[in-house]
Amino acid sequence: MKIKTSIKNFNLDSENKCLKGKIEHPKFSLAGAKIEAKEFPLLEGFVVELFSVTDLKQVESRVKNIDFKITDWYVRINVYSGWEYFENNEINEFYISERENIEHFNFDKIKSSSDSIWLQLKNMSGRFFSKFYLDIRGGETSGAGRNEHGPAHFHIIENGTNRDLGKVYFPTLMEFNSKQKTELEFDLNCKINTKDKKRISKWIFDSELENLKSINEEWELRNEFNNRT
C-alpha cells in the first residue's frame, strides 16, 4: 500500500538530510515506511519519527509554514540516498510505502535519535509484533484533540484498523526506585498473549530504565496543558 504526497507538505532539513512534514489520513501504519519516486531509483529513506497531532503546539516548533490540522500525522523522514534530488528541486511528489514484512525489515537502518520516543515505541512494536504498536497520547483539557486522563499510560493500537486495544499504565521513576510500583498494569479490552506482555515489559524496564524515563518525560510533555491527568 502506498500514499502519494507532495514535497509542499514538508520542510527540508539539509543539516540532517531529512524531511519534516505532514501526512493526512494515512490508511496504514507509517512506522518504518519507506519513500519512493519512480524516476529516482536510487532514492532511499524511511519514516523515523511520527505521531498523531492532537495539539497544534506539538508541531509549531518542529515544522514551519505547513498548515497542520488536528488528526494529521507529523512525520520525519531520514533520507539515506538521493538527498541531492530534494536539494535540487527535482522531486515534487513521492510515495510513502507501507513497511515490509517485519521478518525481513532492517530496523537498524532507521534508528531514530535518542529523543524520539514515539518512534522508539513504534520500532519496538515492529520488532516484536505484527498486529499492533504502542502509542503515547496527550492534549489540552479543552482542546479538540485526544485529552488523556488518569495515571500515566500508553495505548496499544491495532495495525491496519487503528483500533484501540486498551491501556498500559507505567510507574514513575520514583515509584519504581522506591519499589512502590515495579510492574506494568494492563487494562485491555482484548486478549494479548503473555509472551507479548513480557516483551513490552522487558523493553520498558531494560536499558537501565532509560526507556521508562523517556516515556515518563514524553507523557509529561504531551499532557503539559491537560489538567485531567
- pLDDT tens, residue by residue, 45-94: 988 778 888 888 888 888 999 999 998 999 989 898 999 999 999 999 99
Residue 26: the pLDDT is 87
| CB atoms closer than 10 angstroms to residue 20 | 20
126 vs 9, higher pLDDT: 9
166 vs 161, higher pLDDT: 166
Q: How far is CA 86 from CA 23, 60, 93, 211, in A?
A: 18, 23, 10, 34
Residue 142: the pLDDT is 39
Which set of grid coordinates corresponds to residue 8? 509542499
| CB atoms closer than 10 angstroms to residue 189 | 10
Whether the predicted pLDDT of 189 surpasses 70? yes
Distance CA 16, CA 122 (A): 21
Whether the predicted pLDDT of 219 surpasses 90? no
Distance CA 52, CA 59 (A): 10
Whether the predicted pLDDT of 106 surpasses 50? no
C-alpha 48: how far from chain center: 8
Mean pLDDT of 205-210: 80
Kindly indicate the confidence band of residue 109, based on its pLDDT and cuts at 50, 70 and 90.
very low
Which set of grid coordinates corresponds to residue 137? 497520547
Residue 159: the pLDDT is 72
- Nearest 5°: the CA angle 60, 116, 205 is 140
- When mean pLDDT is compared across 89-103, 105-119, 172-186, 208-222, the lowest value belongs to 105-119
Residue from 175, 146, 142 nearest 162 by CA: 146
Which set of grid coordinates corresponds to residue 131? 498486529
- When mean pLDDT is compared across 17-26, 40-49, 83-92, 110-119, the lowest value belongs to 110-119
DSSP β-ladder status, 132-135 and 10-13:
unpaired
CA atoms within 13 A on the CB side of 198: 3
pTM above 0.85, yes or no: no
Quick one: angle between helices 117-128 and 194-205, nearest 10?
150
Kindly indicate the confidence band of residue 10, based on its pLDDT and cuts at 50, 70 and 90.
very high
Q: Where are the domains of the chain?
A: 1-111, 115-229
Residue 215: the pLDDT is 84
Which residue has cell 505547513? 66
Which set of grid coordinates corresponds to residue 50? 511520527
What residue type is 168 in one-letter code?
Answer: V
Residue 190: the pLDDT is 84
- Residue 169, classed as helix, strand or coil, is strand
Whether the predicted pLDDT of 171 surpasses 90? yes
Q: What percent of the chain has pLDDT over 70?
A: 78
Q: Which helix (H) or strand (E) holds 185?
A: strand 185-188
Distance CA 66, CA 64 (A): 6
Condensed to tens digits (0 to 9), the pLDDT of residues 121-162 reads 666 565 556 677 788 876 443 344 444 567 889 888 887 677
